[in-house]
Structure 1
Amino acid sequence: MNREAIKTAAGRIHEGYQTYIRTFNELTSYAPIFFRDRDWSGMQLNHKRRLRLYKDQVNACRLLLKETLDKEVQSHAFWKESKEYYSWIITERKDKEVAETFFNSVIRKSFPVKGADPQIMFVHEGYDTCDIHPQEKLYHSYPSHWGLQKIIRSIVADFDFGVPYLNKEADIQFLVRAVREIILTRYVATEKTTTQVLKSVFYRNKAAYLIGRTHIGDKWMPFIIPFLNGPKGVFVDTLIFDPKIMAHLFSYTRSYFMVEVAIPSQMVSFLNSVITHKQIHELYNAIGFNKHGKTEFYRDFLNHLKLSDDQFIVAEGIKGMVMTVFTLPSYNIVFKLIKDYFEPPKTMTRQEVRDKYKMVGLHDRVGRMADTHEFEGFHLPLDRISTELMQELRNTVNSLLEIQDDELIIKHVYTERRMVPLNIYLENCSLEDAKQAVEEYGDAIIQLAKANIFPGDMMIKNFGVTRQKRVVFYDYDEIEFLTDMNFRWKPKPETYEQIYAAEPWYEIKPNDVFPEDFKRFMIGRADVRDHFFSYHAKLFNPDYWVNIQNRIKAGEWIHALPYPNTIRFRPEEEV
């Protein structure tokens, strides 16, 4: 074996990773500047640049290896030794788990790997094997003997956003009052009480978030402090203690944070103690390392397969015309495959569907679109595939299937969090829950519109209900940018021929939308239909949609807060 070629391959992959992580950190470091300058378009474009970075760098690395080591990169033995040498190179790195994932990505693009081969890939290493590093530099600490006023003042003083405050003293007193009302009415501070706040600020869209925890009552009480930068200055918007709201801030329906991270595993460990409902792979996603989040998800999935024995089945809900969807009942994920043929009236191609998913991956999901991971060559044990599912796969996605020995290999698949389809949820829930669900359904459509997304097919079967009873859109094959649509009032008929015409008598162009027609298909449940029509009456008014379009076209970035307006310290008009 050519030792120099092995060193060259491992060294160049490491150089590629160093370029990636250096650029990743550089792009992340711009977030405070965009927040300071209220440059929301710049923030959004910078976020998209960072999302594209990983794939571009992996591809550049693959091409470099192909040019210089074309014969060697086709050898399994070569990659086995390259992995060992690469492992030695990154031994002292504090982000080595992310560096391992980068190596895996280059391997997948350079060599025909069969499944997750532990001889040439880092399959089981990951988060739990990372070195433990001192945490003093990770967060600020505030001892209880300082008193509440001094602690809050110190927290505010430790974070300088580079712009004047709207009213700093008012912010401090808002925070003091919230802590007294929510925490100190339930727990008594002692000499052991301490507060810790991460030094890194979490930026996303128009907000900056401080993440902290207070050890009181023999347990950690997490909290999040959102800051906004309005025309009159920066201000504290609220103080969040509710674990459900905190979990939603880190939801798979949200874009990733821009946050400076020196040691990813250390940051994830802290967040895991604060956002306790989230899995490790979700937290890596949240801080921007979504490719390593995908790796951690796959490791969790492999472990689950070993510990379970149920079979993969067709997912519940109305079968789609574009995607075949299946799930493992004991695992909270669905697997989505693009069908070989689409039933009329669908006319798109498989590549166009993939492009829609890429569009969602790069867009602000505003808490209303589910994140996905894309896999190629996904291996499943053949004996875990139910007979019904195998028949469905053969009938709809046969070109994506390959069977080798005792495994089913799926050439291309998306994974996504499993939700209860809204149509099924409405069939079985109480009247109160149904009212909340249809309100959420309309809110989801409106928030997507304000983020310049038009769902296209807005039937309730294309929306799901999360464990927190939020409604989320998950069918992306017909989404379009809102600004590309033409919202119209329906022309009123003036003749008998027009009144009784079997088909529309007026011209309809491909991107024409008639919101007045939405009522015909939106809600089928009779006891909540009128409530929905009344609560979301503006959805059926074309002028409402045109107004949102005009605001977006004028350059406005319409911010959707990831927490209720009712918990904000100030009304909107004061900021």
Structure 2
Amino acid sequence: MALEKELSPEITDYEFWHDTKLQYSNRISNRKDKELAETFFNSVLRKISPESGIDENLMYVHEGYDTCDLHTNENLYHSYPSSWGLQKIIRKIIEDFDFGTQYFNKEEDIQLLVKAIREVILTRYEPTKDTITQVLKSVFYRNKAAYLIGRTMIGGKWMPFIIPFLHNENGIYVDTMIFDPKIMAHMFSFSRSYFMVQTEIPSQMVSFLNAVISHKQIHELYNAIGFNKHGKTEFYRDFLNHLDQSKDQFVLAEGIKGMVMTVFTLPSYNIVFKMIKDHFEPPKNMTRQEVKEKYKLVSQHDRVGRMADTHEFEYFSIPIDRVSPELLQELKNTVNSLLIINDEFLIIKHLYTERKMIPLNIYLDNCDHEDAKYAVEEYGNSILQLAQANIFPGDMMTKNFGVTRQKRVIFYDYDEIEFLTDMNFRWKPKAENYEQIYAATPWYDIAKNDVFPEDFKRFMIGRADVKQHFFDYHKDLFNPDHWNEIQNRIRKGELLHAFPYPKEIRFRPEEPA
């Protein structure tokens, strides 16, 4: 790279980088996005010298978003005093956000919002002179929707809300109003694509969001608003803090061992660490680079709430005394080329971090009947919603899906994913004679990307008391015509919208026409 050539031979000089950091710190001291500038510096240093390790004298290791000055920024949000009354407040919010196109039915939208607030908030709390509503001026965009995010100080606390807007050939319309913190958290989930949002001072927006969606961690909020590089930095700081405050050892993750990845975890931390094996077990025949490309595809694609986000690290250090002997042996057996071991640290040349979930196969082995029914419904929903986003999971065995704390099923094994439009979904030819019926191998031609959905029933669900429920609930999964219909809609350019909130809370059951 050009910088390496420009800096040579100082590029390996410790004092050079130490002095550079001091000068850089001075240069960025008045920036309103200082934390992002620090992460940029770290990224440059790590790219130039990935093996240098983490050194607080050379890098910004423990600085955090809250070390930035929280600049007074009158442009962060609109404010609406309670003295205006509910009708005027809602009308002013709608007026303040002009999307540059006509509304389908603005008056109806206003009354639907007023009705929702009266039913959810004003039945429990009485506004006072101190009640105020704030709505971020920045609009959050993702897929086919725009979102307003706000909060109301009432009853001695902040009550958050989100207002989604959709648009069709008839104009803009409000789709619903969301007050449920669990739904809001899911909209900012690690399984969702990042929002597109403009912000002058990222740390200030994160502070606002942290007050609205309080059980999301800081690194998750940076990820959600598109600053995933700094989200990775904040995650690493959280990881270091957790290491200092815990004593348990890293161990192999629960579940069936993968043929492509070795996965381990720290029991007290909600993250798994995934490493690409040195050698893949048959029938896997891809390369390490091909696996990396699959993970990169997922990071750039619409995850529709059904694929886990990852962070990619190089030369990731773990104190060697925190690694269990069993894990260390497994790592030596499967990913030895990625390991550097010294007296103090296990250094891993390449790994991915991902949110920890309960593998679906283990969950189904231990949950009750009703939870199992819901889980297999979610399993099928996950596959079909990925299909609508033009993703075919490939290996759809339950061990490759996880269950979150909210009992949502998420896909997390990416080595065999393909674009749905590249697949060829077929009905199995009917056997016409004795030889075909009893043939040891398929008697018909099968191309590389041929898929026979009828065969899915053979491996998808093993639990007997919910198997038939799954087959009945998701009968479209086994119908090639259904898969081909989704393909055709995607090929025609139709963007199939996956709602990040329950459809039953929408103001209108169907799109207005």
| Residue type at the aligned position of 1:311 | Q
- Counterpart amino acid of 1:102? F
Structure-1 residue corresponding to 2:310: 372
Structure 1 length-normalised TM:
0.88
User: Paired residue for 1:352, among 274, 277, 290?
Assistant: 290
Tell me the residue number matched to 2:326: 388
> Is this contact kept in 1: 2:50–2:315, CA < 8 A?
no
Query: Could you tell me how far apart the structure 2 residues matched to 1:456 and 1:555 are?
Result: 23
Cα deviation 1:235-289 (Å, max 9, x = unaligned):
0000000111100110010111110110010000000000111000000001110
Contact 2:152–2:159, Cα closer than 8 Å, also in 1? yes
Supply the AA of the counterpart residue of 2:35: E
Q: Which has the higher helix share?
A: 1
Per-residue CA deviations over 1:126-154 (Å, capped at 9, x if unaligned) read 21211121143210011111111011111
Give the distance between the partners of 1:172 and 1:113, measured in 2 at CA: 58
Match of 1:75 in 2: 13
1:89 and 2:27 matched:
yes
Q: Which residue of 2 aligns with 1:450?
A: 388
Corresponding residue to 1:292 among 230, 243, 253:
230
Are the counterparts in 2 of residues 65 and 73 from structure 1 also a CA contact under 8 Å? no
Over the aligned positions, Cα root-mean-square deviation in angstroms equals: 0.8
Alignment correspondent of 2:509: 571
Partner Cα distance (1:137, 1:554) in 2: 41
Separation in 2, partners of 1:317, 1:242: 33
Following superposition, the deviation at residue 112 of structure 1 comes to 4.6
> Which amino acid in the other structure matches residue 493 of structure 2?
G
CA displacement, residues 201-260 of structure 1 (integer Å, 9 cap, x when unaligned): 000111000000001111100000000011110000000001111001100101111101
Is the Cα contact below 8 Å between 1:195 and 1:215 reproduced in 2?
yes
Partner of 2:427 in structure 1? Answer: 489
After TM superposition, the score normalised by the length of structure 2 is: 0.99
Q: 1:275 aligns with which of 188, 213, 216?
A: 213
Structure 1 unaligned blocks of 5 or more: 1-62
Matched with 1:470 is 408
SS in 1 for 2:315: strand
Aligned residues between the structures: 513
Indicate whether 1:407 and 2:407 are aligned.
no
2:467 match: 529
Which of 315, 319, 330 in structure 1 is aligned with 2:268?
330
Between the aligned partners of 1:109 and 1:405, the Cα distance in structure 2 is 25
Runs (5+) with no aligned partner, structure 2: none
For residues 134 and 457 of structure 2, what CA distance do their matches in structure 1 show?
Answer: 51
Which stretch of the first structure deviates more once superposed, 293-302 or 401-410?
Answer: 401-410
d(CA) in 1 for partners of 2:51, 2:199: 31
| Matched position secondary structure for 1:563 | coil
Cα deviation for residue 67 of structure 1 reads 3.0
Q: Whole-Å Cα distance in 2 between the matches of residues 212 and 380 of structure 1? A: 40
Contact 1:223 1:239 in 2 (8 A): yes
Cα distance in structure 2, aligned partners of 1:342 and 1:533: 32
Distance of 1:87 and 1:98 partners within structure 2:
12
Kept in 1, the 8 Å contact 2:145–2:164? The answer is: yes
The match for 2:37 is 99
CA distance in 2, matches of 1:297, 1:460: 28
User: Aligned partners of 2:2, 2:429: CA distance in 1, in Å?
Assistant: 60
Equivalent position to 1:208, from 141, 146, 162: 146
Q: Distance in 2 between matches of 1:463 and 1:69?
A: 46
Structure 2 residue aligned with 1:479: 417
State the one-letter code of the partner of 1:447.
Q
Letter of the 1:468 counterpart = Q
Contact 2:311/2:352 (<8 A) preserved: yes
Aligned-partner Cα distance in 2 for 1:120–1:269? 28
1: CA distance, partners of 2:85 / 2:73: 24
**Secondary structure class of the residue paired with 2:498:** coil
Distance across 2 between alignment mates of 1:263 and 1:504: 61
CA contact (8 A) 1:196 1:212 kept: yes
* C-alpha distance after superposition, 1:11-32 (max 9, x if no partner): xxxxxxxxxxxxxxxxxxxxxx
1:95 partner letter = D
Supply the distance in 2 between the matched residues of 1:559 and 1:134 (Cα, whole angstroms).
37
Q: CA deviation at 1:115?
A: 2.0
Shift of 1:530: 0.7
Q: CA deviation at 1:573?
A: 4.4
Q: Note the alpha carbon deviations across 1:182-201, whole angstroms, 9 max, x for none.
A: 11111111111110000000
One-letter amino acid matched to 1:513: V
